[in-house]
A = this chain, B = another copy of it.
Amino acid sequence: MKPANEIPKATARRLPIYYRYLRYLNDAGKTRISSTELSEAVKVDSATIRRDFSYFGALGKRGYGYEVEYLLDFFSKTLNQDNLTNVALIGVGKLGQALLNYNFHLSNNVRISAAFDVKPDIVGKIVSGVPVYPMEEMIGQLRIQQIDVAILTVPQEVAQTATNKLAEAGVRGIMNFTPIRLSVPENVRIQNVDLTNELQTLIYFLDNDIS
């Protein structure tokens, strides 16, 4: 088994997809699966699946396939599903409230545990089970609560300023829901998620018949 930092990025990106499907199979009482079936379900070709799995030393038996429970257990450990990662939400507007309400409830290992906003009517309250702190306390609270992953759902005008503060607070990963491309120090990782953009792109492709 390779050390995690030698695993190709593309493989790492597919791990949660495999994990989620295996959990679904396990819940449905299925005990084994062939790489062909798995390939069909997750839409990744079976040669790629076999190569991905080989990085982790998880090798199926020819003509038998993979043991669902074994794989699930294995991926669960690899993805650190046993440890809860607390995440902060910065900006409790419409999308922010939506994400608080959703709170990644399909996942075992991620939870928004603190939120931050500037609006007096929401600060100091508990929204969908999560406390909303004032923005002035953000750096302090993130340090006290040892949170190093943040979800950014502030208005785009303040996105960069908020990001600078997150970096100052020691945050290492930001899931960015604003349309702004953020500038960050080298040690901070950004994952951009632009829902409006995704939908507009889909519609643009449809309108123009691009396949």
Residues of A within 8 A of B (CB): 4-5, 7, 9, 12-13, 15-17, 20-21, 24, 41-43, 79-80, 85, 87, 94-95, 97-99, 101-102, 104-107, 109-110, 148-149, 151, 156, 172-173, 175, 179-181, 189, 191, 193-211
Q: Beyond A104-B196, A196-B104, A202-B191, is A207–B42 a contact (Cβ under 8 Å)?
A: no
Shortest Cβ distance from A77 into chain B, in angstroms?
12
Contact A5 B200 (CB under 8 A): no
Contact A202 B189 (CB under 8 A): yes
Contact A201 B16 (CB under 8 A): yes
Which one of B12, B101, B193 lies within 8 Å of A205 (CB-CB)? B12
Contact B148 A206 (CB under 8 A): yes
Q: List 27 A-B contacts (CB under 8 A).
A: A7-B208, A9-B205, A9-B210, A12-B210, A15-B204, A16-B194, A16-B204, A17-B181, A17-B194, A20-B196, A20-B197, A24-B179, A41-B181, A80-B203, A85-B203, A87-B199, A94-B102, A98-B102, A107-B196, A107-B199, A109-B200, A110-B196, A149-B199, A149-B206, A175-B198, A189-B202, A191-B201
- Cα–Cα distance between A80 and B207 once the two chains are bound (Å): 9
Chain B residues within an 8 Å CB radius of A199:
87, 104, 107, 110, 149, 151, 175, 191
Contact A13 B201 (CB under 8 A): yes
Shortest Cβ distance from A89 into chain B, in angstroms?
11
- Cα–Cα distance between A189 and B198 once the two chains are bound (Å): 12
- Cα–Cα distance between A207 and B78 once the two chains are bound (Å): 10
